[in-house]
Amino acid sequence: MSRPEHIAPPELFYNDTEAKKYTSNSRIAAIQAEMTLRAVELLSLGDDGPYYLLDIGCGSGLSGEILDEDGHVWAGMDIAPSMLDIAADKDVEGDLFLQDIGQGMGFRPGTFDGAISISVLQWLCNADKKENKPRYRLQRFFSTLFMSLQRGARAIFQFYPENDLQIEMIMGIAMKCGFTGGLVADYPNSKKARKFYLCLFAGQAAPGQKQDLPKGLGSDEADNGIAYTDSRIQTQRRGKTSRKSVKDTASWILHKKELSRKRGKEGVPLDSKYTGRKRKPKF
Partner 1 sequence: MRLITHNMLKCHVKNCTDPDKQFPLRFKDVQLEQIDAERNDEFLVRMLPRIDWPALSKTTKELDITLPETVPGNPEDDEEFLQALHTAILETHIKQGSMLCDGCGHEYKITNGIPNMLLAEHEI
- x-or-dash pattern for partner 1, window 32-61, by CB under 8 A? ----------------xxxxx---------
Instruction: Look at residues 113, 193, 100 and name the one whose alpha carbon lies nearest to residue 140.
Output: 100
Fill in the amino acid letter for 203. Answer: G
3-state SS assignment for residue 113: strand
Q: Contact, 35 vs 72, CB < 8 A?
A: no
Q: CB under 8 A: which stretch of 101-109, 186-194, 196-204, 269-277 binds partner 1?
A: 101-109
103 binds partner 1 (CB under 8 A): yes
CB 148 within 8 A of CB 111: yes
Task: Select the span of 83-91, 188-196, 243-251, 267-275 touching partner 1 (CB under 8 A).
Answer: 83-91
- From the CB of 103, what's the least distance to partner 1, in Å? 5
Asked whether 126 and 9 are in contact (CB, 8 A), the reply is yes
Residue of the chain from 16, 21, 71, 213 that contacts partner 1 (CB under 8 A): 71
Determine if 85 is a binding residue for partner 1 (CB under 8 A).
yes
Distance in angstroms (rounded) separating the CA atoms of residues 91 and 65: 9
Would you tell me how many other CB atoms lie within 10 Å of the CB of residue 175? 14
Among 100, 152, 187, 218, binds partner 1 (CB under 8 A): 100
Tell me whether residue 104 or residue 214 sits nearer to partner 1 (CB atom): 104
C-alpha distances out from residue 190 to 10, 74, 161, 194, Å? 28, 33, 15, 6
Instruction: Return d(Cα 117, Cα 245) in angstroms, integer.
Output: 67
Nearer to partner 1 (CB atom), residue 53 or residue 156: 53
Which one of the spans 30-38, 104-112, 114-122, 176-184 is the region binding partner 1 (CB under 8 A)?
Answer: 104-112
What is the CB neighbour count within 10 angstroms for residue 125? 20
Task: Find residue 193's DSSP bridge partners.
Answer: none
Q: According to the binding rule CB under 8 A, does residue 108 interact with partner 1?
A: yes
Which residues have CB under 8 Å from 236's CB, separation 6+? none
Q: Does 110 bind partner 1 (CB under 8 A)?
A: yes
Contact flag: residue 16 with partner 1 (CB under 8 A)? no
- CB-based contacts of 137, cutoff 8 Å, min separation 6: 102, 103, 124
Minimum CB separation from partner 1 for residue 164, in Å? 29
- Give min distance, CB of 4 to partner 1, in A: 21
Smallest separation, CB 137 to partner 1 (Å): 9
- Pick one of 16, 41, 69, 95: the residue that binds partner 1 (CB under 8 A): 95
Residue 153's CB: how many other CB atoms inside 10 A?
25
Check residue 106 for interaction with partner 1 (CB under 8 A). yes
- Residues 173 and 147: their CA atoms lie apart, in Å, by 15
> Which member of 105, 145, 153, 200 binds partner 1 (CB under 8 A)?
105
Binding site for partner 1 (CB under 8 A): 48-52, 71, 73, 75, 77, 79, 84-85, 88, 93, 95-100, 103-108, 110-111, 140, 144
